[in-house]
Structure 1
Amino acid sequence: MIYLLLSVLSSTIIFVVFRLYTRYGVNTLQAIIVNYFIACTVGYFGYIDNADFSKVPSESWFPGALVLGFLFITVFNLAAITTQRSGMSVVAVATKMSVAIPVACGIFLYNESTGFLKICGIILALIAVYLTSIKKKEGISIKTKNLIFPLLVFFGSGIIDTSLKYLETSYVAETDVGLFSSTIFATAGIIGTFILTGQAILGKLKITWKNILGGIALGIPNYYSIYFLVMALRSNGLESSTVFTMNHVAIVTFSTLTGILLFHEKLIRKNWIGLILAIISIILVANSAI
């Protein structure tokens, strides 16, 4: 359970960093790409002992890590497009509701438990995620022509979580968690570099120190959010459907509370109801795991 809590805290710090990007005018794409290389570096030098990096391409999990790295930056760009066309609330709902995919896979593919408390907790969790993510009383609205983008974010985010579970279960040894996580970030960073190179060729690239510092601030907690999530998935007594549900809902809860305390965010009634439901869902799912 400690790994799950540490993953949630790391993800909450990521929320704070993103909020500070808006305040200080940080270029999110540049910072994200720098963040991938920082996260990779943290893993390589902090959590990997006596690793022979030349053998990484021959590891059984390497192709999966490449795919995940591609998905990381692809989903990020899709999220950016969705934000521009439909708003931040739509992205938040699509990203967090995607927990339904790994939860369903855990139950149907890995034959995980489906007790009454757990099912009630999962249903409440999905409702809570929606209610805490919307920022307008009338809810969210999406134009039909823009619907494809939040759908891609939804499926992309869900596939990322599901793939993490599959790879750590089937291919990643406990001693390779750090190397596996760092390889994912390195792949995303390299792909991102090609994007920046394209911008430079078109004369649209302007790198500043605040973007680099923003990437450093994001990269450290980002690495730990993935590392501790993988470690939580490996914990005895915690099924993946339990881990993903509690992880997503706890992130929503902590991030919402942090927004109130640090950024003086104003919540509408639906947000408060969602927050209460989130806490109830965490209690139900946690009790079902005992």
Structure 2
Amino acid sequence: MFYIALAVAFSVTVSVLLKLARRASVDVVQAIATNYIVAAALSFVLLAPSLPALQAPGAPLVPLTLLGVLLPAVFVILAWSVQRAGIVRTDVAQRLSLFLPLIAAFVVFGDVLSVHKGAGIALGVVAVVCVLWKRGTQRADDGMGGWLLPLGVFVGFGVIDILFKRVALAGAPFASALLASFLLAAVLCWVAVAYRALARIAPLSWRSIGFGVALGVANFANILFYVRGHQAVPDQPSLVFSAMNIGVVVLGTLVGTLAFRERLNRINVAGIVLALAAIAIIATV
């Protein structure tokens, strides 16, 4: 489980970096754009993807293109959510997004809905509502920071997972699909960076680029060690799955509440407990 512990640590590190970005006067778009260059380079060197596999007839170009667009867009939403809704609620929303591809498995991919799976999904939906719950409207942006941004994280990462499954079903190797998605995301991000720089909205900043390098290393390390965890115990995927998701929820909650003093109401806490239970139920399917 050493690899999973590292994957959990780097996943929460990404959230911490995004939380600190505003305090460090970092332009998030530039940081995310740099992140994808670093992640693509590390993918090419460490995962040794087969690029010709993506040129074969029937290659899933549409899902890959959508991934290239959605990855940076959802990453920006993730950054905003961490800054405004907090690490705890954002990390839980991201982990609960696994229930969307699970629902898609029944609706789109022809899987059979069992009582066990149905109970896990139902519990997960209740957990999402509880985690996003926020009392009062003391600030004008409570809608954004309170529930809309975490909801965007939940839906965005769920759709990304579904697209990766579509790519996998089409026979594209994971490493190749990951590299292609990172490269397209990097191109689109840098187009946005160039436009914002030329329009004098956000001049290029070495601080933001350097921050993006750290973000890219943490982002890729999270993926790499999660994959290595599955490779280390190939006969126990549910163990890896549950350890990763529960680990991120627990560590994210500890870091958010202790290091950044994020406040949770009783319903939010109940939602976190329900999220852990839902993940545990799905992991035993």
Report TM bin, short chain: 0.7 to 0.9
Closer, same or farther in 2 for the Cα pair 1:5/1:83, shift >3 Å? closer
**Counterpart Cα distance in 2 of 1:12 and 1:221:** 9
Closer, same or farther in 2 for the Cα pair 1:126/1:275, shift >3 Å? same
TM-score by length of 1: 0.73
Deviation digits for residues 29-88 of structure 1, max 9, x if unmatched? 111111111111111112217x5x5x466142455333211121233456678899xx63
Matched, 1:194 2:202: no
Matched, 1:47 2:44: no
Closer, same or farther in 2 for the Cα pair 1:6/1:112, shift >3 Å? farther
For structure 2, list consecutive stretches of 5 or more residues without a partner in the other structure.
Answer: none
Closer, same or farther in 2 for the Cα pair 1:181/1:195, shift >3 Å? same
Kindly tell me the number of residue pairs found equivalent between the two proteins.
272
1:161 equivalent in structure 2: 161
**Counterpart Cα distance in 2 of 1:232 and 1:58:** 29
Closer, same or farther in 2 for the Cα pair 1:24/1:78, shift >3 Å? closer
**Counterpart Cα distance in 2 of 1:118 and 1:274:** 19
- The one-letter amino acid paired with 2:48 is I
Closer, same or farther in 2 for the Cα pair 1:39/1:156, shift >3 Å? same
Whether the 8 Å contact between 2:3 and 2:225 is mirrored in structure 1 is yes
Whether the 8 Å contact between 1:98 and 1:158 is mirrored in structure 2 is yes
For structure 1, list consecutive stretches of 5 or more residues without a partner in the other structure.
Answer: none
For the residue of structure 2 that corresponds to 1:205, the secondary structure is coil
- The one-letter amino acid paired with 1:45 is V
Matched, 1:38 2:38: yes
Whether the 8 Å contact between 1:250 and 1:282 is mirrored in structure 2 is no
**Counterpart Cα distance in 2 of 1:21 and 1:212:** 12
- C-alpha RMSD over aligned residues: 4.0
Deviation digits for residues 240-289 of structure 1, max 9, x if unmatched? xx95x986665444322221233233322122212222222233222x33
For the residue of structure 2 that corresponds to 1:105, the secondary structure is helix
Closer, same or farther in 2 for the Cα pair 1:15/1:178, shift >3 Å? same
TM-score by length of 2: 0.74
Tell which deviates more after alignment, 154-163 or 191-200.
154-163
Closer, same or farther in 2 for the Cα pair 1:83/1:237, shift >3 Å? closer
